Chains A and B, each alone.
Chain A
């Protein structure tokens, strides 16, 4: 508690400091010789840490006028607070990795650079970035970030358990009822075996899987004008009913939010997961033969993606230009694929699949090709608004109440929709 209290208070100081410290001379940042030093903040560890070090060195060697220094800011979960503190202190990083869910919030800060005019130059080929990534980098028509990471949910299944249960493996044309039947057949309480796993912490992990199902059934999160909840629909009820049925039959391993499910999967207790490439290293241990398929579908096979951004902060035009130049190089098709190869992340550009090195990448990370192709199914995004965290909390509770058998789907959704309408109509 004490720590939290201080954090709030310290943040208050930061904001108080914000007023006076904005501005600065526009040519700041460049040394007399025209050499520009910029910093890049990230939370990379392990292979990604090695990769960012290598690639920035490569950039520095090929761009003698710019030196990019990557700096590790710790866990990305707390990056926003640290960046805000740095802005208040008058020394923001030039580039920072920030979660896509913060895009709408960070866009309100005057230090955040509007990148629209840069990335719309044809040399950037902005539309080559995946749709979902572009959506999350765009706030009210303004582009405030360059895609840093993209992922999505696909179906990962245990081949051995499928064989034992006598079910043929999932296909790209699998329907919800195929999925439901398989999940029920894979369930065996005596062996502590579950058909599926669902994160049941009522957080965003609970919510986004539900959004994918909602979209598959033809529903939407909000009304087209964004002023009302739209998930309280037949599609929403259908999606929650699927969850309810499977939960009632104990077919779902309910993860408490501490990410135990990949471990339970590799110990052979879960038949199917809806997960992303980030779990691949945990799943690909050789303990269970696994396959990857796109998600089952109802009206369509849509998936959901949670992209993150590189956000640029204003330290004078010379440094902004240098930052933009670095990001352009770093997210160029060639370097993007290189990064993917080094880290196992998905390429953030659509053209990656047509590059010569792509096959080697797919071979290096078994199953990854499905996730890359599945990005074509990530056509919709969560609303990029400052109220989204509140909406997510309300819907998380609704989904959880159905999973725990405490509410009926229709009742849970109506109740949630009423609360979300209240959030959307509240003056901000």
Chain B
């Protein structure tokens, strides 16, 4: 491409263009990645650009929309329901991320040993992850049913007061945290288990030789070496938490009294229940920017704090 244009008289001595192209290594490379590039372009890039355009329109997806500039974004800035959706999402994320990561670390350490039936225990922890969200949702709806649920039955047997759980606006969001931690823990555990098994034995032995207790070995050797895994899990869980939708959709549908209406559920309501698709797209873009900023901050902190062995 950067070569100077050839005089036309010499063109006839060169092989035809298609031969030159198909013979080059560049061509082979592009040919190999083309299917993936096309798929990504069609199903990711074009939709991303289109939803940006959509966010600048008043559009109900039924009739052709029209351009309204930044009106959707301006309306969002004044939307009190959107603000409370942000509040619910933050509360959820702030609880979900640390609880699931600390919980997973504890479980991973417990599962990182050679005992009988370890495969079974690991499988048991992993199964919720591969259970469909709908099944998980229905399971928890029944477990937490105020009248006929198992949890209230146990509380009753223990002489504790009955709870409304998902039907109480003050408890529902915390129930969702518990449900999603249970559902996603398996993934975090797998990552931590892999990281734990990647810790060189000689480091652990060396710290033992130096007389370190099990706790200080864990704190000063194991934990720093789990840094990269932890950073990954923090970033990944945060992104997931900010995009919470499925679990809300199959259980509380944003209620009771809007107490579990998180950002993406609000987006769904606007776009597909109220037919404000342009407004929904604007919410998606605000969320996208927020996720991007949060992730960059996390990675920036991570770069200064996380220790990489290589």
**Contact flags (1/0) for A1-31 with B, using CB distance below 8 Å?**
1101111111111111011000000000000
A8 touching B269 by the CB < 8 A rule? no
B64 touching A15 by the CB < 8 A rule? yes
Q: How far is the CB of A114 from chain B (nearest CB, A)?
A: 15
Most chain B C-beta atoms within 10 Å of own C-beta, residue among A15, A81, A109, A201: A15
Which of the segments B14-22, B118-126, B189-197, B256-264 contacts the partner chain? B256-264
- The docked-state distance in angstroms from the alpha carbon of A192 to that of B146 is 11
B253 touching A12 by the CB < 8 A rule? no
Pairs across A and B, CB under 8 Å, 16 listed: A6-B43, A8-B271, A9-B46, A9-B48, A9-B51, A11-B271, A12-B51, A12-B54, A105-B60, A108-B62, A192-B147, A258-B138, A260-B145, A393-B273, A404-B167, A404-B257
**Beta-carbon contacts under 8 Å, B92-140 to A:** 138
B147 touching A8 by the CB < 8 A rule? no
A254 touching B59 by the CB < 8 A rule? no
Q: How far is the CB of A270 from chain B (nearest CB, A)?
A: 10
Residues of chain A with a CB closer than 8 A to B269's CB? 393
- The answer, yes or no, to whether A406 is at the interface (CB within 8 Å) is yes
**Contact flags (1/0) for B131-160 with A, using CB distance below 8 Å?**
000000010010001111000000000000
Which of the segments B28-36, B275-283, B295-303 contacts the partner chain? B275-283
Closest to A390 in B: B274
- The answer, yes or no, to whether B243 is at the interface (CB within 8 Å) is yes
- The docked-state distance in angstroms from the alpha carbon of A106 to that of B63 is 9
Interface SS of A by simple majority: helix
A109 touching B63 by the CB < 8 A rule? yes
A15 touching B47 by the CB < 8 A rule? no
Among the listed A4, A18, A258, which residue makes an inter-chain contact with B267, where contact means beta carbons less than 8 Å apart?
A4
- The answer, yes or no, to whether A256 is at the interface (CB within 8 Å) is yes
- The answer, yes or no, to whether A200 is at the interface (CB within 8 Å) is yes
Residues of chain B with a CB closer than 8 A to A4's CB? 245, 264, 267-268
Residues of chain B with a CB closer than 8 A to A106's CB? 62
- The answer, yes or no, to whether B284 is at the interface (CB within 8 Å) is yes
Closest to B54 in A: A12
Q: How far is the CB of B237 from chain A (nearest CB, A)?
A: 14
Given contacts A15-B54, A260-B145, A393-B273, 6 further A-B contacts (CB under 8 A): A8-B54, A12-B51, A13-B47, A16-B50, A200-B256, A256-B252
- The answer, yes or no, to whether B65 is at the interface (CB within 8 Å) is yes
Among the listed A5, A11, A393, which residue makes an inter-chain contact with B61, where contact means beta carbons less than 8 Å apart?
A11
- Nearest 7 A-B pairs (CB), nearest first? A9-B47, A1-B243, A12-B50, A12-B54, A9-B51, A108-B63, A202-B255
Q: How far is the CB of B184 from chain A (nearest CB, A)?
A: 14
- The answer, yes or no, to whether A401 is at the interface (CB within 8 Å) is yes
- The answer, yes or no, to whether A131 is at the interface (CB within 8 Å) is no
Residues of chain A with a CB closer than 8 A to B60's CB? 105, 108, 386
- The docked-state distance in angstroms from the alpha carbon of A106 to that of B168 is 37
Q: A12-B281, A256-B141, A256-B167 are in contact. Are A109 and B62 (CB under 8 A)?
A: yes
- The answer, yes or no, to whether B169 is at the interface (CB within 8 Å) is yes
Q: How far is the CB of B30 from chain A (nearest CB, A)?
A: 25
Closest to A1 in B: B243
Q: How far is the CB of A390 from chain B (nearest CB, A)?
A: 5
Residues of chain B with a CB closer than 8 A to A214's CB? none
**Beta-carbon contacts under 8 Å, A234-253 to B:** 253
- The docked-state distance in angstroms from the alpha carbon of A19 to that of B148 is 53
- The docked-state distance in angstroms from the alpha carbon of A333 to that of B51 is 47
Most chain B C-beta atoms within 10 Å of own C-beta, residue among A2, A11, A200, A397: A11
Closest to B273 in A: A389
- The docked-state distance in angstroms from the alpha carbon of A84 to that of B277 is 13
- The docked-state distance in angstroms from the alpha carbon of A14 to that of B62 is 9
- The answer, yes or no, to whether A110 is at the interface (CB within 8 Å) is yes
Residues of chain B with a CB closer than 8 A to A397's CB? 257-258
Most chain A C-beta atoms within 10 Å of own C-beta, residue among B63, B138, B267: B63
**Contact flags (1/0) for A261-279 with B, using CB distance below 8 Å?**
0001000010000000000
Q: How far is the CB of A345 from chain B (nearest CB, A)?
A: 26
Residues of chain B with a CB closer than 8 A to A13's CB? 46-47, 50
Q: A6-B43, A390-B274, A406-B169 are in contact. Are A15 and B59 (CB under 8 A)?
A: yes
**Beta-carbon contacts under 8 Å, B209-246 to A:** 243-245
